[in-house]
Structure 1
């Protein structure tokens, strides 16, 4: 495949969206996954995902998802999906607490695993999971297996997070690969009207 072919290939994007929605006192955040040829092409998908935000909807960070664990991630037409593939790409939002901090801490894990149980085990190995705990505080204890001060707020297969139209059209291809460069993470305030 030539460099031009890879530029024409659709990409999987992971975005951290921000908005000060009507009636809120502080900015709210959510993660969004979409498939497009460019970041600018995602704008209609973003607006459909998080409605009624007015002009406050923006991107606080993004990455093109190409490497997770020791796997290459690409987007292919649904017709090219390998029916025998068992690996799935999971998004896990961990939540935890720190003593005397009036806020819930969060840590996001992307991992390739065969099922949800293995994805949770992988998340539980993270430094965040082991360090954001408060022993003995009612309500700050876990509800994952060991009840230890942290919880899995959300876990999804990435394909579950895509719009129905994208699920019908594309497949996330996961291929074992070594020595992949880490995905570049772009942070800052990105206005949607400046992307187009």
Structure 2
């Protein structure tokens, strides 16, 4: 199977908004191009583009593999997506940092998030770094990726984790990509 888990930062300026907004989409397919219909369904009211993406194949020293549903044994580990928010004094901006973590619980994933340099350095008294949308840790702010996949994807696929020492980090693809250009590739 060549299916891969993809993490995509979608961008758009929805009708009635003044600034570009972003959201994170997770999907499983052979290629990014194959996910375009699902990405459009995920954010139907916007003219979306891609600002960053990656094939999720390695996280926290684990290989991340897509399998057919029921093909792999149940694992105690899960893939968590965490969106950290933080501030810099004197800057009219909230900065964000996205974290993926393989862990057996929300508590462990939260600990990983709090150990990032972003969490330690993007905050100051009265404007502490936080896991969006609250100061501190809240279950609603951390997502098990398996839970936020589309219903069809959840029915068809599972995610398997294998600990591998020295596994290289995923390649990050950063930069603006028009959806129409992706469809023509």
Compute the TM-score of the two structures, normalised by the length of structure 2: 0.91
Q: How many residues align?
A: 175
Secondary structure in 2 matching 1:195 = helix
Alignment of 1:113-192 (within 5 A): 113-135=103-125, 137=126, 140=127, 149-153=128-132, 154-192=141-179
Q: Deviations over 1:57-101 (max 9, x none)?
A: 100111000000110001000121312x10111110011111111
Alignment of 1:6-155 (within 5 A): 8-53=1-46, 56-83=47-74, 85-135=75-125, 137=126, 140=127, 149-153=128-132, 154-155=141-142
Q: Measure the CA separation in 1 of the matches of 2:40 and 2:77.
A: 30
Compute the TM-score of the two structures, normalised by the length of structure 1: 0.86
Q: Runs of 4 or more off by more than 3 Å in structure 1? A: none
Structure 2, unmatched stretches of 5+, are 133-140
Structure 1, unmatched stretches of 5+, are 1-7, 141-148
